[in-house]
């Protein structure tokens, strides 16, 4: 499929683009996915739950896949990043708690948390 196709699908949700004016404060950062399974559903759930604790609008884009910009507060949009281990994700936030949101989320995205794929 072409990448542009998935941008055009009317999924709503994606309100912010890099061109939209910053609300109060805006910031961005780039993180690398370290988890061996990538940003899978369970991990995505943690991200969405964390993102929803902030007022700032938070978006993510998978630079390694040239993905569309998606809303980090939506699990359905996050999954479309198809983020695998080693991919670089740009996180942007706009709003009064933008900095704090980015700090929390980049830790989660980058985070190397446990998974049951373990074996001795």
**What are the residues binding another protein (CB under 8 A)?**
1, 5-6, 9-13, 32, 34-38, 40-42, 45, 48, 71, 73-77, 79-80, 82, 84, 111-120
Instruction: For residue 53, give both structure tokens.
Output: 């604790």
Rounded Cα gap, residues 20 and 103, in angstroms: 22
Nearer to another protein by Cβ, of 4 and 21: the residue is 4
Nearer to another protein by Cβ, of 22 and 64: the residue is 64
Nearer to another protein by Cβ, of 27 and 48: the residue is 48
Is 40 an annotated catalytic residue?
yes
Contacts of 26 (CB under 8 A, 6+ apart): 92, 93, 94, 95, 98
Q: Is 73:22 a contact under the CB 8 Å cutoff?
A: no
Query: To the nearest whole angstrom, how small is the minimum distance from the Cβ of residue 46 to another protein?
Result: 10
> Given 35, 40, 66, 111, which residue is catalytic?
40
Query: To the nearest whole angstrom, how small is the minimum distance from the Cβ of residue 25 to another protein?
Result: 22
Catalytic residues: 40
């Amino acid at each position: 499929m072409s990448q542009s196709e998935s941008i055009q699908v009317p999924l709503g949700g994606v309100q912010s683009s890099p061109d939209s004016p910053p609300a109060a404060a805006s910031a961005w950062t780039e993180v690398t996915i370290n988890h061996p399974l990538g940003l899978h559903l369970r991990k995505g759930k943690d991200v969405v739950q964390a993102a929803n604790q902030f007022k700032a609008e938070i978006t993510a884009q998978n630079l390694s896949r040239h993905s569309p910009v998606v809303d980090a507060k939506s699990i359905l949009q996050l999954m479309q990043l198809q983020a695998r281990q080693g991919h670089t994700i740009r996180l942007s936030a706009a709003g009064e708690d933008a900095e704090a949101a980015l700090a929390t989320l980049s830790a989660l995205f980058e985070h190397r948390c446990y998974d049951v794929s373990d074996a001795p």
